Structure 1
Amino acid sequence: MADQGIRCDEPGEFPKQFQNEQASAETSTVMNVLGYGPHIRQARIEAYKASDRHVTAEVRGIATWITTGSKAEGLTSYLESDLDQLFVIESVICLEDGVDSSSVPVETTIFRSCSRISYSGHCRLLLERYGTRIHISVYNALCDDGFGRGLLSSDLYVNQWLNVKRAEGEVQHERAGPSRPSTLGVLKLDSVPALHFYCPSIITRWAARHRYWPSPDVVREVVSLGAFVSPVGVKGSDYEHVEWRMCFNTGENVLINNLNDTQVKLYVLLKMVKKDVLQPQKKEVTSFTVKNIVLWIAENNPHSLFHERSLFHWLHEGLYALRVAIDTKELPYYLIPGRNLMAACALDHEQKRSWIATIDEMMTEGPRIILRLPKIRQAIIAHPEPLRWYSGRRIEMEMLQLICMNRLALRMDKDTDVIMQALRRRQWEIVREVRMRMIIEGCRVNDLQNVWRSMFM
């Protein structure tokens, strides 16, 4: 992948000793304190998996809910970012061209993907067979392809879901591409409708690649999870309104959750560089961009080289790969390399030149690069004892909130459920304790609700 922006060493050329080993280890420790350690990440992952199971069970086989993004990866706290979810209708399946459809149950509606005239990683969906039951949102999104065949419009499909009744108290916001953003209390939600996609040839090509990582067992698990199509076309395409994007959200969740601790922290640091240093305004570079960089680096290098004392070495490699992607406007999607993730980015010449200069500066700074990242810089400046004290209470607060979240998903009444009441009591004890320490240390704070909210940001 060296010619595609991901640099890997040749056999026999692996570094014998990494530079900045002590700084790497200390930064890894700081990141544990900030909530990026393996135990809290795993707790988040399991909590959102459980929540998905509860919500899916409640709709009784009509759809499957899948948490994606940073929440599913265990990398953000309760209110730190949007809760991204796919909801997948169970009565529809999309089949790759050439796949036999005779074994598909008669109640299932079948669409056939047509990718020959679409950009790599995208397709159009032609109706092959109505099922004995067809979801109204699917039926209303059908149009004619000009040859008398049914074609499923991605644009119409998203619009159908904008009219679906929301939960009590949920406020809907303006459509953003394929997603329907909303707010429920203090939570920001971002849900995307999707359909199951069976594409054995695509996923088999990925599985057959020579690699250092992931292990064969993980590869088999990713293959078993299959794929989806989401209603988003190629930006600027004449057929954008009827194009669908192939995606592997559940498989990507598994891949990220099978990275080792150093690889995950590399991912977090690159996301911070994207957000706090580059500060893209039009999604020219996204978290998905840096995720794919990390996945390529993990695949192309021996797993044993990723340890806490090598973190800055791999951060340098990640910045190099990001620089190449920005410079060439090329970055292959990890699961479908033919899809260029930088193809449609709105990156003008001046911005590209500025970002490349900034990354070049960072690559020469060594460990001082982390001083550009506000969250880590503040942790380094802070006195160790208060930081550890606050971090412990913040993590406890989040663990309690994740349990509350799943109690609510099970429709437990927060006013009568004794477990919920005990969880809430303990949370407010922590909030009052934090407020008191803030006052002792000179802060003027009165609103407990603001303290509660800030501990989840």
Structure 2
Amino acid sequence: MYQVPNYTETVSMKLSEVLADIGVDERIVMKRRRTLLLMESIENIYHQLLDENFFIYLFGSQSEGTTTIGIQSDIDQLIRDKEYPVIQDWSDWISGLYNFLMIQDNSVSPGHCLLQSLRSDAPLPADGESDQFFFKDRTGRVFVKNSIVHVSSVNRDEVELHGPAYARQGQPGYCDKDTVMALHCTTWPQQARQWLIQQGEGQWPSAEMKQYCSRTGCFVVTVGCSGSEHEQLEWRISTSLAERCLMFNLNITQIRCYVLMKILKRFINPLFNDVITSFMCKTVLFHCIANTHSNIWRENNLLLCLSLCLYLLYTNIIYENCPHFIIPGNNLMRGKISPAVKPYILEKLNIIINSEGLALLGIKCDDLGSRLLLKLSAIKKGDIISGKLLYNLAFSISGTLNKTYHHLKKRSPNEAVEILKNFISKTFNSQYEGLDKTASHLMLPWYCTILGSFMATLNIYHYNTVSADALKLIALGLNTDVASSKLKLASILFCVQEIQKVDLVLSEIEKRYDLQIVEPICKCHVEIKKELQRQGFLELCDNHNEEILKYTTASCVRFLPCEIHCVPTELRYEMFRSTQEDRIFRTKEDNMWMDCAVVDSLPYLYFLQYKVYSHLGRRDQKQAALFKLIRTIKEELNLGHRETALNLLGKCMEQEGRAGDALQCYFKSLNVRGRDNAAKIHINAL
């Protein structure tokens, strides 16, 4: 039996430890997957509540858990349009929808297909003529051009076209994201049916995995084979759901091998225009696993496993053929490698393969080289990764709430109440399972708080009081996070002069708001760069999943114009921040929140305390609250609405009789945000 040399085993174990230190271990991989799949579920549940006909998938390294902080992987978002089913058999035709028949014959490039348009009222070919989106061939068949699908869910002015994907890149506070529109076929592609029955030495994937993969069907995305005579008509077949299944069934050594290949790819690619892709590396890994015995893939063999993968990649480049793992006729390297750069790529790979691991010492990504050399195992990144993952999940929830508010913004209070009741009823009664169930439990309390607030504003407008039903709904959402929902309750109680109750609510919030742990959450601005700065937050996130968000995050507090009766007078001005000229310069993101009153939780807590202590005549506590408000504005780096906090501070200064200080606050506010700022109203009123 082959024995691994002691040197190789030693380097493999040290390399495995280094990868664990930078977050490539079972726990962090599972946490990454859970977080991204929860984000996927939250997004889809929201669109289901609106009865929208598309479904979103988050693919790629982030959802697979095969990335590191240094790799900085983007998110691959696939948007599936449910209105246009793709079928491979006439018996699968669906009445009332525009079905497309998948054509896979010898005239089509491997890994691609044509889509023939069918009638919606009968399982028959559609009639029509050639135009911008359709092509009629000599036999009368009408085919759909791949230009028919466009990305409607992103702002086209803010993205860059990358093949079939629209890329959002370089926006502070956001992961880079590639968005692809796709159509779905519920049946397994004809070109991949041989894969279901073949089996290599590694007996991987198992028969059960292949059976599951076959049930996922496939997608078709809007890109033809480069250079094909049918390039505008061809659609690329994607088996992303099956590939997700394969990735989720890798062991930690296989995942580490893939991560190392991606890091080494970055080491090679800057010299050769990114000719080696992550998908090629993944495909090479799949082929190696399928054709080697399973007992090879162990921690003490990591260096050997990496060498096997790199050697196969080297061979593929020699022959310029990297066959797709599921559709082997599709050569991923076709036309990718120019004769001019091929020798240099091979030379670079050859050096890495023959270096017996020494080449890894030169890798700067995640300090992998220096960590391997010095084995700085004391510097672990697990807590940082966990913190960023759960922060991103909170960020995703905040983004979904932004869209919910935007959907309700132009509705009357009564209409908004009915829409939210429908949201809550559908969410509560849906038979969700797994992470979908977890996602719905995360969102349901938020919807209850919003509905309670809408009912409260109607109560205050008509009766100057708040009904028990409204308070009961708000109470169901009080533990969404540390502060924001409770601050909504405090704001409502303040508007009906229940000052003693407000005092109790604010005291409870302040007890729970640990300044060493709680991170502010705001997705209103893309231009504000947010840095996780609290070690307590990172440590708690490292030891818990999404349930810890209610103790470690504080979202900004938002009131729609229809909630105006739940808002103190000083904050109402924020609903009127924009002039007609300001509106011309708004972005898509600005329109999501700028007609609302929005404020970060911590400054709003201290502002309400100042108002309450003023009413109660507690001068010392009032001054303490004012000092905390000033300190927060100066020291908290992650405020999303600093200009609003400065405006509230200015109103406090006015109440103190300090008009000069109030004016300074308003000018500082304008320095933060020159347009769309209520400070202009306050300055004119002084």
* Residue among 24, 28, 32 paired with 2:12: 24
1:407 offset after TM fit, Å? 2.6
Q: For this pair of structures, how many residues does the alignment match? A: 408
Secondary structure in 1 aligned to 2:163?
coil
| 2:533 matches 1:431 | yes
| 2:301 matches 1:209 | no
* Residue among 48, 53, 61 paired with 2:41: 53
Structural mapping, 1:133-152, within 5 Å: 141-152=133-144
1:146 offset after TM fit, Å? 4.9
Kindly indicate whether the alpha-carbon contact (under 8 Å) linking 1:108 and 1:130 is maintained by their aligned counterparts in 2. Answer: yes
Kindly indicate whether the alpha-carbon contact (under 8 Å) linking 1:397 and 1:427 is maintained by their aligned counterparts in 2. Answer: no
* Residue among 219, 225, 235 paired with 2:216: 225
Kindly indicate whether the alpha-carbon contact (under 8 Å) linking 2:28 and 2:65 is maintained by their aligned counterparts in 1. Answer: yes
Kindly indicate whether the alpha-carbon contact (under 8 Å) linking 1:274 and 1:280 is maintained by their aligned counterparts in 2. Answer: no
Mark the CA change 1:373 to 1:385 in structure 2 (over 3 Å): closer, same or farther. Answer: closer
Higher helix share: 2
Question: 2: distance between equivalents of 1:395 and 1:324?
Answer: 35
Secondary structure in 2 aligned to 1:408?
helix
| 2:177 matches 1:177 | no
Aligned counterpart, 2:79: 87
Mark the CA change 1:122 to 1:106 in structure 2 (over 3 Å): closer, same or farther. Answer: same
Aligned counterpart, 1:192: 180
Amino acid at match of 2:137: D
> 1:353-379 CA distances to partner (integer Å, 9 max, x unpaired)?
111111111122102121132121143
Percentage of pairs with the same residue: 23
Structural mapping, 1:366-377, within 5 Å: 366-375=356-365, 376-377=368-369
Question: 1: distance between equivalents of 2:121 and 2:295?
Answer: 50
Mark the CA change 1:143 to 1:200 in structure 2 (over 3 Å): closer, same or farther. Answer: closer
Aligned counterpart, 1:104: 93
Mark the CA change 1:15 to 1:409 in structure 2 (over 3 Å): closer, same or farther. Answer: farther
Higher strand share: 1
Aligned counterpart, 2:437: none
Kindly indicate whether the alpha-carbon contact (under 8 Å) linking 2:12 and 2:300 is maintained by their aligned counterparts in 1. Answer: yes
1:406 offset after TM fit, Å? 4.5
1:93 offset after TM fit, Å? 1.9
Amino acid at match of 1:186: G
1:129 offset after TM fit, Å? 2.6
> 1:204-240 CA distances to partner (integer Å, 9 max, x unpaired)?
3211011311222222211111111111111122321
* Residue among 44, 63, 67 paired with 1:76: 67
1:382 offset after TM fit, Å? 6.1
Aligned counterpart, 1:63: 54
> 1:320-361 CA distances to partner (integer Å, 9 max, x unpaired)?
11111111101111001111111121x222311111111111
> 1:287-316 CA distances to partner (integer Å, 9 max, x unpaired)?
011100000011111212110000111111
* Residue among 351, 362, 370 paired with 2:352: 362
| 2:303 matches 1:312 | yes
Amino acid at match of 2:481: V
For structure 1, the 5+ residue unaligned runs are 1-13, 435-445, 450-457
Question: 2: distance between equivalents of 1:80 and 1:404?
Answer: 19
Question: 2: distance between equivalents of 1:113 and 1:392?
Answer: 46
For structure 2, the 5+ residue unaligned runs are 402-442, 451-477, 485-512, 521-530, 537-634, 639-686
Kindly indicate whether the alpha-carbon contact (under 8 Å) linking 1:95 and 1:112 is maintained by their aligned counterparts in 2. Answer: yes
Aligned counterpart, 1:259: 250
Aligned counterpart, 2:231: 240
1:271 offset after TM fit, Å? 1.0
Q: TM-score, normalised by structure 2?
A: 0.55
Structural mapping, 1:374-389, within 5 Å: 374-375=364-365, 376-380=368-372, 384=376, 387-388=379-380
* Residue among 327, 343, 368 paired with 1:353: 343
Amino acid at match of 2:197: A
Question: 2: distance between equivalents of 1:273 and 1:371?
Answer: 11
Kindly indicate whether the alpha-carbon contact (under 8 Å) linking 1:228 and 1:247 is maintained by their aligned counterparts in 2. Answer: yes
Q: Which has the larger radius of gyration?
A: 2
Secondary structure in 2 aligned to 1:279?
helix
Amino acid at match of 2:4: Q
1:281 offset after TM fit, Å? 4.9
Q: TM-score, normalised by structure 1?
A: 0.80
Whose RCO is larger (CA < 8 A, sep 6+)?
A: 1
Across the aligned residues of Structure 1 and Structure 2, the Cα RMSD in angstroms comes to 3.1
Aligned counterpart, 1:4: none
1:103 offset after TM fit, Å? 4.2
